[in-house]
A and B are shown apart, each in its own frame.
Chain A
């Protein structure tokens, strides 16, 4: 009895009136919300983009950072959301919310199917298998160019740029509206991720990452748990893709290419694998770095290659991972 009380007092259960981890995350979100009142119009747009892409990275990290499964094919889930929403809007005349739901649902279905197949492999084979499936999906967007318009892509316009929510009209061409929708999506996904990784299920995800056989011998169905992680991760990535299509009104095959599978890996590695806020930090820094580089050279992907190498060789824990190791051990 007393041992249990001691542990509770030491915060081993991580709950209480003063939940510093939750407060930290709320504070970071509050700063992101507040930024819109100090930055200019151009920054509104690029930060909105960053927040949508950061949502993608948060989703990627649930599988890679917490469950320890390195996918090289997440672009297929992002693209499932992107095309699900984009084609729903342009071909089937769905409204903004319905298109978003169509995108998220596409990601849910695709990640379930891919998970059932790809999770029969582990390690390097899993990486190659996900990469191949993503490549097949990319080629499919080109093959069905009649509907997707391939590399050229679809530009969304007209009614799909307006939506009505809670009885109020919103104009998706307005930078302020876009900023706040992107912020809302990111905030929801960050809080979902935080709740997940601090839940009993989150502890099982980490256990699978650390020692899968032992997790099985503690009575956990590791296949089902990994499938759950992949589906949550894929669906969140699809939600980011759907939001990207609807907010920025463009759907193109380049978002399904291998580059968009590598980018979330890079963002997560930079920010810190297995940290809730790491992907947000990583996306923010890398986005501006690539943006800056592309003003000077068309070979801006060089930055991506160099960053990947540096992180893998010298800095595998990333920014927040290193911070957690050295300074704030309680960071989730």
Chain B
């Protein structure tokens, strides 16, 4: 029997609007998958369909090898933490935590033991007798997570679990949640719009846009080899520089000759790009941290004027104007440039991506 969650060609329509468009996903037991995307991209709808809170228009969902399309939410036996926590206001934290356990035929002693263990894991022992209205935001969020992990369900679903916390609390919780998630032996799906959250907590990330999955990969791969310009621009802060350019040929050393806004630059890129015809329009993707500055302009450098300087602590962000385009360049804080100064940027070898006219990565 297959285990985990399999989603095949799952589609959701609200009238004419296609909220989720033919999504395919596999999540294995013990794996944490993050659905990442801008708001309104269909990630929450996807999660709600897995939970059975929304009907599936087309396609199918299997949990533990069983097709669950026509199975009601309670029978799917999924655990879920809601974005707005959805704590029951009339009962205490302890009762909230044990709420899902009443459906399982387990003894009072076992219920007590499980409450104690979850409360211990999530630092909730002190507040077990309080009501949700008496809790701080971070405590509410932990109760919501606790109510999910107290069970032995077929899968765990988290909808924007950290979105309502302030930045400091979010960092603490991220670590806490990651710790908790590591102990789970069932598939876990987390919905988030925060890439840091996805990159830190997920085993794999599925980036969504307009109801479609753009790429599914490990946090490392999705950062290092984004499959298209959307993923490339979405992941990483500051965002990747996407520079339109035209191919002018291949140099003797097997490097790509490009025309970037009138400047002729030779760039060391992936071998696949060499097969593109001369004159093809491509997009060059360079992360802000993958530039080097050199003193002299040469055939491997792109020159530009420093426009705005934003110190970020350990690093400094320079907005560099090359003609009309703005490039984001991040340098160590010890690198000092003045506004208006012309600098020469060199692309670090193999860390520059080429996307074709359709925006897909050229391998």
The judgment on whether A and B are partners is: no
Q: B residues touching A (Cβ–Cβ < 8 Å)? A: none
